[in-house]
Amino acid sequence: MLDIQLFRKDLPAVASRLASRGFQLDTARFETLEAERKAIQTRTQELQSRRNSLSKQIGVAKGKGEDASALMAEVGGLGDELKAMETRLDGIQAELQELLAAIPNLPQPDVPLGDDAAANVELRRVGTPRQFDFTPKDHVDLGEGLDLLDFATAAKIASSRFVLMRGPLARLHRALTQFMLDVHTQEHGYEEVYVPYIVNADSLRGTGQLPKFEADLFKLTNDMYLIPTAEVPVTNIVRDEIIPAENLPIRLVAHTPCFRSEAGSYGRDTRGMIRQHQFDKVELVQFVRPEESNAALEELTGHAETILQKLGLPYRVMLLCTGDMGFSSSKTYDLEVWLPGQNTYREISSCSNFEAFQARRMQARFRADQGRPELLHTLNGSGLAVGRTLVAVLENYQNADGSVTIPEVLRPYLGGMERLSAV
RNA sequence: GGAGAGGUGGCAGAGUGGUCGAAUGCACCGGAUUCGAAAUCCGGCAUACGGGUCUCCCGUAUCGGGGGUUCGAAUCCCCCCCUCUCCGCCA
């Protein structure tokens, strides 16, 4: 959520910055609501003030045993208008709130302008895609060929967009998770947290998934939701909290499954593990002082990159353009890993600085010394999406005979296993 | 899931219809005292929103959340959430 003061101070400027990311702000509606709000709020508070002082006088009079009927008649006359004003004020505040809650974050000045992914800017490539002396398979052919990846059975158990992994492949998937957690906790200074996989609506509003993106979520029968990312439970740790400044920055890492309904993506990535209803992710989250958030974004992105580097996976770093950024983000880097089976780079991590956007929704603040509480800044990034990392390992480390060499750094997690082959 | 108890400021804890944004204690901050410290004394010490003559003043709201009764609600009524104790169930 953006600061409403911004809209009051310079509406056209905010509107144009929002337009740069493809959001049309209804400025006329805002101005009307705001003018109405001001008039009604002033009048309401006036009436409340009058009522309070008269009521107080009634109390005093009755305490002295005097007749208060004249006072009571006067305050009684306020009742109808006051009630009407309060009701209208509530309505307008709710409408303003709703309007505000649906407005995305402002892009930072150095975010490139653009409508969609085509305008994203490639910042750098790291690692060189391997030259194969045979035609590389994609992870589906590899996994099914090894009899370790089974989409048909998963579809029987659940539906399409689920996967069943067997034996050493299931273990490799687990090894990747362990590896990522170990690197982030031992080398990057993150604290590992274990969090609920089911959250309430307040938490989803806090991070920005609600109210606009309910269709992307799996909603349970008790009005709770399966998490679409660990970002939701982990970031909401600080909701309604005031953190002592000396505790910042806070760096947290969590491994969770993620559940996404993928509504509206019927034709996209239907093959393989790229786009699933359920996938695992290791998520990095940071809470920092405002002036440090951009440096923290660079740092956090680097932490995610480290995983790719240690795994020897070629990737590139993309700076997302205004039109391709997530709703809550002010600036986002995507890491895209090279997939030989698709002969292209695919997103494997997304690292964002939300500035105070989520913090304002969450009322997540910090206090420096004796100062007033101030909104902190939140960031997060995948470090990494485990399923897609597994795909990348399979495809990049495949051999001509259909087996897969295990990257060195993972072998300690696999009892020294060097090669993935059929059970 | 059942029965009971309870949710008040950073913490502890009073307050059961009126001058209560809320006693008192602890913690914290400033000052006095002291060579310095402890102790003691004095003062300060919530958040959000709105308005203004905008480093300050005024107003409004907030005692788990929402609704209601009333001129007036921390206090009474209803619904919900959470915590604790006991029982049941259970990894």
- Estimate the crossing angle of helix A386-396 against helix A293-311, to 10 degrees: 40
pLDDT at A188 over 90: yes
For the CA of A22 and the C1' of B58, the distance in angstroms is: 42
Q: How many Å from the N-terminal Cα to the C-terminal Cα in chain A?
A: 51
Least confident range from A7-21, A165-179, A361-375, A381-395: namely A361-375
A98-135: pLDDT as tens digits = 888 899 999 999 999 999 999 999 999 999 999 999 99
Give the pLDDT of residue A247: 86
With cut-offs at 50, 70 and 90, classify the pLDDT of residue A423.
Answer: low
Strand B–CB A94 distance below 7 A: no
Per the structure block, which two tokens stand in for A212?
């606009």
- Tell me the β-bridge partners of A164: A150
Catalytic residue among A231, A355, A388, A395: A388
Q: Pick out the nucleotide with least CA–C1' distance to A41.
A: B50
CA-based nearest residue to A393, from A130, A126, A124? A130
pLDDT at A369 over 80: no
Mean pLDDT of chain A: 92
pLDDT at A263 over 90: no
- Is A347 considered catalytic here? yes
Residues 6+ apart with CB under 8 A from A182: none
CA-based nearest residue to A235, from A123, A357, A138? A357
CA-based nearest residue to A140, from A383, A339, A386? A339
> Which DSSP symbol is given to A350?
E
- Is A17 considered catalytic here? no
Percent of chain A with pLDDT over 90: 69
Strand B–CB A63 distance below 7 A: yes
Give the pLDDT of residue A370: 65
The Cα A104–Cα A337 span in angstroms is: 28
- The answer to whether the beta carbons of residues A358 and A375 sit under 8 Å apart is no
pLDDT at A223 over 80: yes
- The answer to whether the beta carbons of residues A237 and A252 sit under 8 Å apart is yes
- Is A388 considered catalytic here? yes
Strand B–CB A196 distance below 7 A: no
Q: What is the pTM of this model?
A: 0.92
- The answer to whether the beta carbons of residues A52 and A82 sit under 8 Å apart is no
> Which DSSP symbol is given to A271?
S
Strand B–CB A92 distance below 7 A: no
In strand B, the nucleotides that come within 7 Å of a protein beta carbon are 18-19, 28-29, 47-51, 59-61, 67, 71-72
* 3-class DSSP assignment, residue A245: helix
For the CA of A68 and the C1' of B86, the distance in angstroms is: 52
Strand B–CB A87 distance below 7 A: no
A267-281: pLDDT as tens digits = 888 899 999 999 999
Kindly state the helix (H) or strand (E) to which residue A226 belongs, with its residue range: strand A225-226
- The answer to whether the beta carbons of residues A208 and A328 sit under 8 Å apart is yes
Burial class (CB in 10 A: 0-12, 13-18, 19+), A186: exposed
With cut-offs at 50, 70 and 90, classify the pLDDT of residue A243.
Answer: confident
pLDDT at A365 over 90: no
pLDDT at A282 over 70: yes
Catalytic residue among A260, A346, A360, A361: A260
